[in-house]
Chains A and B, each alone.
Chain A
Amino acid sequence: MEFSESKHGWISLPAWSRFLIDFGYEWPTDEARPRRIALISMPCDSAGAGLVALGAMVRGLTNPDANDVHGYHEALLRYARQYLESCRSCEMRCEPQEKRCGYSEEASGFVRYKDNKVWEVSELAFGSIWYAHTFPSTERIPVSRAERRWLSPKDAIDWQIDGEAWPQLGDESDPLPIDAYSNLIPTASIVKENLRRSFSGLCLAGRTVGEATTREMYSLIHFRIGGSEHTLTELLTVKGWNTDRRASRITYLNARTETIDRGSYPPSLVVADGDLSFLKVLSFPLFQRSDVIGVIHRAIERDNLEALGNRLNGLRQWYEEDTDLVGHLHQVPMGISVALLKKRFC
């Protein structure tokens, strides 16, 4: 496997990239783990957060339970309930922090069937979702009660929540490129079914300067595996970053607008790109129980460095240094510094 930061000058995967990918891959994922927070301090600007997220994503591909298929009907129910009980009659579009409604994003109430037709949730009764037909657009039309239909739990994965990734793609669509991921982590036993299934348990929080900049930075990273080339942007599978219709194995938080591309459930791990993004993620209500890995670079103003240091120091009363995990770290490359914290058991 070869690596490039400019699509020219191919080299073998450098030590720093290997370290970051492995760091993400080896991040503890067992259910009983304490919450962990890590800060990786880099000597220069880089796509480091993307590489950590990529490693964590490959780890998810090896877990048969890491997908949105299981429990997708519950996700649809949550979505329907939010729409019917809150968003449909909400006078604020859309200020969850101000409204204090407990949600992080608006639910539009639209669901798309596999034939691409859009429907609107109309009623929730006895734990079942009822929907009414609408035209294939976002236009709402009045519907009579007689036109409503029932969304069967066994067909749940035939539906897509408006704006979110399909939980599972059919055989007609391309799976994620297994060669690319298995070459990145040769020891990873990737579950083939996961290559067509989306997953919302891992989140990438982009740079505060904006999504376009984050994406542009990641698009500079290229991998050449055998005869094919892949960009980091492509391999991360953030919804909307690639034109082809594939599963999305990672959610994206736009740290500038503080919006997440889908919000089915809180992710177990958030990887934050940059100092401000890291600080925002630590204060983001949805991520209060999620593990957080921040990747920052040190060539920033002292005030920003101190804001990070103060934030970590503020965690002292609940967190301790994770010496166990440090012991498992591979050789840290020169210039990289890591802080690893885990929550104390009370």
Chain B
Amino acid sequence: MSVAATQILGFLERRQTFTFERNEIAHPEFENMRRNLRQIVMKFHESDDYEAAEIAKGVRTLLSEWLTTPITFDTSIERSLTELFGDRATISSRWGFDIAGLYEAARKAAVNLATVENPVRKKLKETIEKVHLQELRFKIYCHRRAKHHFDSLLASLEDVPVTEDMFLHSVRDYRDSETFDVLIKVGPLRSKGSSSAPDAILTAPRFEALELIVWSGSSDEPGFGYDPSQAFHDDAPLASSWAESASRLPKWSVQRSSTGTDHGLGGLYETDWDELSVFAQKIQLGENRAAKLVHVDEEHGIFYQPYSRVLSFNPPADSRQPIGWRIPGETLVEGMFVIVPNLGDVGLGDLQARNGYYSRIWKSQLREEVISNLDELVERLRSAGLDLMHLHGAIRNWYKEPGTVIHAPQKSAHFEILIRVLGVDDDPSSSESHSAIPWWKRAWMEIRSSRGEAIQAGQLEQELVDEQLMTVLASLLPDLTRLATEHRAFELAVPPSSGMSGVVNFLPVTAIEAGFSVPDGQFRVVQTLAAIDQWRD
């Protein structure tokens, strides 16, 4: 429920001027690591090599996290780099001495960083202690996945009570927030990406002071604090009497402070150093499309194109149209369910309806191999061509029991290698053992189906299926309402009398986020948040 408008407008009227403290932090080793990694990204970005592009994406994701969260400086930084680049001995032969040199310099800097305290973390700690001592009410704005970095820091502070509503993760969280004293944020003010925050932070503050802690060179996005009512008179300066009389937006008193030494910046323009800006520009040049992310649990989300219509379920008893098409972030909001049909008998026989049949077989084999010798399995997969970074972690994820989705590799080529290495083949007892379709393909179809990919061919057919499905679901409303009470994912078998077969998955909407550019083929598919991060703007 939103806060009363009188409270917010009264708060703004009383304050009028707000304080923005921008704390810039520098550290020579961190800058050294950034500089080398950034150069690798720029070189790899121009490459048409798939593996180089994947590494560039990985570096971008790591740097984005390190620049916008209070990470602990420890051996995990170097470990992330070595896992990403693979065997040190092969880097120079694979990528040349230039890249090998940059990588080695970055890695050494990462090793050195493990011996010092992250100055961003130190500054954040001081800031929280200061506001706590002054008995001010504060909140932290951060990305949902960055929260654990703040949790670990808060746990080390005595007497600071930690509550869930201390964190704001989305525009909606901000919109529902009461007024408070201080907002703390790590990372620059940007509208998209890992450091994103609502423009309303500047145009509609619900706090008196903003404490921003940023790494040196990370600039705030020009135009952040966008208000559409100002769009028409861009050419009329705000200071003019006309604009002044029609707009009374809050005024900010900005104070800047710097901590640490700027060793690395000599001779370069500041913008050259702003990785977040540079990465955002590079992504925009691609052929990806804007997307909204609907989170369906702590680890998974689904991309939809803005303004696309999503089949969804609104459980409250007084809902006029419980099953219907809704727009993510507008009419589809938290508390509702996304409906992901997993139907058989719509063009592919009963192949799809048997969700979980194939996964049980290959996951059981995978589990045995992991228990017997994980390292050996990793080596066999790598030699067979499965060259994923973090392969150990990925395998542990793949053999998890099917939940919201069947956990499996994201790409069919990788899945094919996995099945080949595992040596899984037809079950002689199965009626489909002599199918013309290879076993791995049938298993892959089951995975795709669990991720919600529409396999039914043709738009018209799909519409007919959807219409029929809505009718069927409307007749099951009492069951749906009962199953939705705990707001957890559930599935419902389609009654055979409906003329359809299979199951329909209901995935709870836990959050909705904008600021992604996603290639075709990645929409309407359940994905892990780890995979999703690569498409942040």
Contact A40 B229 (CB under 8 A): yes
Considering only residues 317-336 of chain B, those with a C-beta below 8 Å from chain A are 318, 320, 327, 329-331, 333
Complex formed: what's the CA distance from A296 to B333 in Å?
18
Interface of B is mostly: loop
Complex formed: what's the CA distance from A40 to B227 in Å?
11
Which of chain B's residues have a CB closer than 8 A to the CB of A298? 199-200, 203-204, 227
Contact B226 A305 (CB under 8 A): yes
B290 within 8 A of A: yes
B125 within 8 A of A: no
A243 within 8 A of B: no
B-contact 0/1 string along A1-33, CB 8 Å cutoff: 001011000010011110000000000000000
Complex formed: what's the CA distance from A276 to B306 in Å?
12
Contact A43 B229 (CB under 8 A): no
B9 within 8 A of A: yes
Which of chain B's residues have a CB closer than 8 A to the CB of A45? 2, 5, 175
The residue in chain A whose Cβ has the minimal distance to the Cβ of B172 is: A299
Complex formed: what's the CA distance from A15 to B230 in Å?
22
Complex formed: what's the CA distance from A273 to B275 in Å?
39
A-contact 0/1 string along B1-33, CB 8 Å cutoff: 011111011101100100000000000000000
Contact B204 A299 (CB under 8 A): yes
The residue in chain B whose Cβ has the minimal distance to the Cβ of A307 is: B228
A137 within 8 A of B: no
A139 within 8 A of B: no
Chain B interface extent, by class: 35 or more
Contact B306 A303 (CB under 8 A): yes
Which of chain B's residues have a CB closer than 8 A to the CB of A41? 227-229
Contact B245 A316 (CB under 8 A): no
Known contacts: A39-B228, A339-B230. The answer to whether A5 contacts B191 by CB under 8 A is: no
Total count of chain A residues near the partner, CB < 8 A: 58
Known contacts: A301-B171, A303-B514, A323-B242. The answer to whether A335 contacts B248 by CB under 8 A is: yes
Contact B229 A11 (CB under 8 A): no
Considering only residues 293-310 of chain A, those with a C-beta below 8 Å from chain B are 296-306, 308-310
> Which residue of A48, A306, A312 is within 8 Å of B5 (Cβ)?
A48
Complex formed: what's the CA distance from A165 to B187 in Å?
56
Contact A208 B330 (CB under 8 A): yes
The residue in chain A whose Cβ has the minimal distance to the Cβ of B6 is: A14
Contact B200 A313 (CB under 8 A): no
A178 within 8 A of B: no
**Which 4 A-B pairs give the minimum distances between C-beta atoms?**
A43-B204, A309-B231, A46-B5, A308-B228
| A and B contact pairs by CB, cutoff 8 A, 29 listed | A17-B6, A43-B204, A44-B2, A44-B3, A44-B8, A208-B330, A208-B331, A256-B331, A297-B175, A298-B203, A298-B227, A299-B198, A300-B200, A302-B199, A306-B228, A308-B228, A308-B231, A310-B231, A321-B232, A321-B233, A321-B236, A326-B245, A332-B245, A335-B9, A336-B248, A337-B246, A338-B229, A338-B246, A339-B231
